[in-house]
Amino acid sequence: MLCERKGLHITFSYFEPVIRFIPPLIVSAQEIDITVGIIDDVLSSLQKGSENFSRFAPQNRRSGPFIEEMNNDFSLVKLWRRIYETSPKQWIRKLKTTL
């Protein structure tokens, strides 16, 4: 949501704190630098508390309360730990067992 306001569209899930990067098949170093810069700006503003994240939550009666409850315990450390634990760790574990 904050990334999208800055021109970066990413995929995420309301039910798992996971950010998915889906770059095009052809991407330049400059585009990667811009992407990393936007993500850095957004995470910095969240860490400082300068953005009111709750205003971007869904307003419908089904997913709105769920997202609000999930975000009450928001922490960048928890977010990055969960991102690490959901895919790279699982893939590394799978690769180790198959190799």
Q: Is the pLDDT of residue 79 over 80?
A: no
At 1-33, the pLDDT tens digits run: 677 778 787 776 666 667 777 777 888 999 889
Euclidean distance between CA atoms 86 and 13, whole angstroms = 12
Q: What is the reported pTM?
A: 0.49
Q: How far is CA 75 from CA 13, 46, 71, 80, 99, in A?
A: 17, 9, 9, 9, 35
> Taking residues 90-99, what's their average pLDDT?
72
pLDDT at site 30: 92
Contact 48, 18 (CB under 8 A): no
- Tens digits of residue pLDDT in 39-78: 888 888 877 776 666 666 656 666 666 666 666 666 666 6
Q: What is the pLDDT of residue 66?
A: 65
